A = this chain, B = another copy of it.
Amino acid sequence: MVKSNRRKFIVTAAGLAATTVVNGTPNMDTEKGNIAHQVYFWLKNPGSEEDRELLIKGIKTLRQIDSVQKLTIGIVAATEKRSVIDDSWGVSELALFKDLAGQAAYQIHPIHLDFVKNYSHLWSKVVIYDSLEV
């Protein structure tokens, strides 16, 4: 019952969020049609905490891009090791966009281009998954 009430609250809050405008800017949360842009970075120097922190600092600059609704950054979590888990990467970025246009605008935004120019020497590999929320 508590769980059910909590769900009801969350649904109600999501409904409010979808229609609330604060200071002229719509306050959106993730919802159907949003784009989740998930990036995994493998560091050139996996053992360097300094490089990892520098890359995290760089990814944080991407939050300034207008079309980014939310951007979270992660490192490998200490969950139980299993064969299906890939824990060989170094830093993860999850950026949420309202739609495909928002994601496309991010790709060519000067702040994103600067990020690639200034921080790409830190990574050896990048894998990206773009999801359309259903």
- On A, residues with C-beta under 8 Å from B are 2-3, 5-6, 9-10, 13, 22-25, 27, 30, 35-38, 40, 56, 64, 66, 70, 72-80, 82, 84-87, 89, 92, 94, 100, 103-104, 107, 126-134
Contact = CB atoms under 8 A, between A and B. Distances in A.
B36 A72 contact: yes
A13 B16 CA distance: 13
Contact of A132 (B5, B22, B77, B131): B77
A128 B105 CA distance: 28
Copies of this chain per assembly = 2
Contact of A27 (B10, B36, B73): B10
A76 B3 contact: no
A134 to B, nearest CB: 5
Given A23-B9, A38-B38, A72-B30, A77 B130 contact: yes
A77 B99 CA distance: 10
Nearest to A129: B86
Contacts of A133: 72-74
A35 B64 CA distance: 24
